[in-house]
Protein backbone atom coordinates (compact mmCIF):
# COMPACT_ATOMS: atom_id res chain seq x y z
CA UNK A 1 0.00 0.00 0.00
CA UNK A 2 0.99 3.56 -0.64
CA UNK A 3 0.14 6.58 1.47
CA UNK A 4 -0.08 9.97 -0.20
CA UNK A 5 0.14 13.09 1.95
CA UNK A 6 0.10 16.80 1.35
CA UNK A 7 1.74 19.39 3.58
CA UNK A 8 -0.91 21.97 4.42
CA UNK A 9 1.13 24.08 6.86
CA UNK A 10 4.77 24.37 7.82
CA UNK A 11 6.39 26.68 10.36
CA UNK A 12 9.90 27.22 11.62
CA UNK A 13 10.70 29.47 14.57
CA UNK A 14 14.39 29.66 13.79
CA UNK A 15 16.77 27.42 11.89
CA UNK A 16 18.67 24.78 13.84
CA UNK A 17 22.34 25.04 13.00
CA UNK A 18 23.34 22.01 15.03
CA UNK A 19 26.14 21.82 17.54
CA UNK A 20 29.49 22.99 16.25
CA UNK A 21 32.73 22.18 18.03
CA UNK A 22 32.41 25.17 20.35
CA UNK A 23 28.87 24.33 21.47
CA UNK A 24 29.87 20.74 22.04
CA UNK A 25 32.85 21.96 24.09
CA UNK A 26 30.58 24.15 26.25
CA UNK A 27 28.23 21.22 26.86
CA UNK A 28 31.16 18.99 27.79
CA UNK A 29 32.58 21.71 30.07
CA UNK A 30 29.22 22.06 31.83
CA UNK A 31 29.12 18.32 32.46
CA UNK A 32 32.66 18.38 33.85
CA UNK A 33 31.93 21.41 36.04
CA UNK A 34 28.92 19.75 37.61
CA UNK A 35 31.02 16.68 38.44
CA UNK A 36 34.01 18.53 39.86
CA UNK A 37 33.23 17.18 43.33
CA UNK A 38 33.70 13.66 41.95
CA UNK A 39 36.66 14.12 39.60
CA UNK A 40 38.62 16.84 41.36
CA UNK A 41 39.76 20.23 40.17
CA UNK A 42 42.94 19.09 38.40
CA UNK A 43 41.10 16.77 36.01
CA UNK A 44 38.53 19.44 35.16
CA UNK A 45 41.16 22.13 34.58
CA UNK A 46 43.14 19.81 32.31
CA UNK A 47 40.04 19.07 30.23
CA UNK A 48 39.11 22.77 30.16
CA UNK A 49 42.45 23.58 28.48
CA UNK A 50 41.54 21.36 25.54
CA UNK A 51 37.92 22.52 25.40
CA UNK A 52 38.96 26.18 25.53
CA UNK A 53 40.82 25.75 22.24
CA UNK A 54 37.64 24.61 20.46
CA UNK A 55 35.66 27.53 21.88
CA UNK A 56 38.34 30.03 20.81
CA UNK A 57 38.62 28.65 17.28
CA UNK A 58 34.98 27.96 16.40
CA UNK A 59 32.84 29.73 18.99
CA UNK A 60 30.86 32.90 18.84
CA UNK A 61 30.10 35.37 21.61
CA UNK A 62 27.47 33.10 23.23
CA UNK A 63 29.85 30.16 23.48
CA UNK A 64 32.65 32.35 24.85
CA UNK A 65 30.38 33.81 27.53
CA UNK A 66 29.06 30.38 28.51
CA UNK A 67 32.57 28.94 28.72
CA UNK A 68 33.72 31.93 30.78
CA UNK A 69 30.86 31.34 33.24
CA UNK A 70 31.93 27.71 33.60
CA UNK A 71 35.57 28.71 34.07
CA UNK A 72 34.53 31.16 36.80
CA UNK A 73 32.59 28.40 38.55
CA UNK A 74 35.56 26.03 38.48
CA UNK A 75 37.91 28.82 39.62
CA UNK A 76 35.68 29.69 42.57
CA UNK A 77 35.42 26.02 43.46
CA UNK A 78 39.18 25.48 43.37
CA UNK A 79 39.91 28.69 45.32
CA UNK A 80 37.53 27.88 48.14
CA UNK A 81 37.47 25.28 50.86
CA UNK A 82 33.72 24.94 50.49
CA UNK A 83 32.16 24.04 47.12
CA UNK A 84 29.33 26.54 47.50
CA UNK A 85 31.47 29.63 47.97
CA UNK A 86 30.32 31.18 44.70
CA UNK A 87 26.59 31.79 45.20
CA UNK A 88 25.85 32.52 41.52
CA UNK A 89 27.47 29.30 40.39
CA UNK A 90 25.86 27.38 43.25
CA UNK A 91 22.42 28.54 42.13
CA UNK A 92 23.14 27.48 38.56
CA UNK A 93 24.69 24.10 39.30
CA UNK A 94 22.92 23.05 42.48
CA UNK A 95 21.49 19.56 41.90
CA UNK A 96 17.76 19.09 42.45
CA UNK A 97 16.56 17.69 45.76
CA UNK A 98 15.75 13.97 45.67
CA UNK A 99 12.04 13.24 45.33
CA UNK A 100 10.17 13.18 48.61
CA UNK A 101 12.82 15.16 50.51
CA UNK A 102 12.64 18.81 51.41
CA UNK A 103 15.46 20.99 52.60
CA UNK A 104 14.57 22.74 55.86
CA UNK A 105 16.12 26.14 56.42
CA UNK A 106 17.89 26.99 59.68
CA UNK A 107 15.05 29.30 60.71
CA UNK A 108 12.45 26.55 60.20
CA UNK A 109 14.49 24.09 62.26
CA UNK A 110 14.60 26.47 65.22
CA UNK A 111 10.80 26.78 65.31
CA UNK A 112 10.04 23.05 65.21
CA UNK A 113 8.73 21.45 68.40
Domain definitions of the chain by residue range? 21-93
CB 71 within 8 A of CB 39: no
Classify domain 21-93 at the CATH class level.
Answer: mainly alpha
Across the chain, which has 113 residues, the per-10-residue mean pLDDT values are 92 79 95 91 91 93 95 87 46 49 53 47
| pLDDT value of position 34 | 92
Cα separations (Å) of 63 from 3, 7, 13, 78, 105? 44, 36, 21, 22, 36
Q: Where are the alpha helices (DSSP H) in the chain?
A: 21-34, 36-39, 41-58, 61-79, 87-93, 106-111
| pLDDT value of position 19 | 72
Amino acid sequence: SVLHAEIVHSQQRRPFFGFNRARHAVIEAAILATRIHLTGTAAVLTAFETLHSAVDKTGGEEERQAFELLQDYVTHWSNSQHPGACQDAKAIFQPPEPEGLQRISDSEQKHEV
